[in-house]
Structure 1
């Protein structure tokens, strides 16, 4: 196992594969990106539902934004529970 200096300012050695150059302790995984997008979706859809409530929007707007909120929050909950195993 080779030690990588986290403060290295030069390119990785020539024998290092391109995929390994981006992996490390600070690499962002797909799961992190998905979790961030799901949280953003929960917040946006909840705000849309609240805005629709105060604005007197039709019922279908409430149902659509509520369904999106529930699906995104449910997906976050399932991913968290599966991650515990």
Structure 2
């Protein structure tokens, strides 16, 4: 009996012609949204310590809120 590998991204039983993508579009979008949240939050924090206009700080905050909100909505819709 073959053991399944939990860390394998593709199906081990799929033939060469039946290969499916291991990472879905939804996973990619979620990863990119998390990257946007982290980068915009770090940028917002760095900008708040510097001598920059308030508009830059607000723009970073808005991007952070929109990306986090999108993640929350996608998470709630995925529970259905």
TM-score w.r.t. length of structure 2: 0.78
Equivalent positions of 1:6-85 (< 5 A) are 6=12, 12=16, 16=17, 20-23=18-21, 27-85=22-80
> Which runs of 5 or more structure 2 residues have no equivalent in the other structure?
1-10
How many residues align? The count is 70
CA RMSD after TM alignment:
2.0
CA distance in 1, matches of 2:13, 2:79: 33
> Which runs of 5 or more structure 1 residues have no equivalent in the other structure?
none
- 4+ residue stretches of structure 1 with deviation over 2 A? none
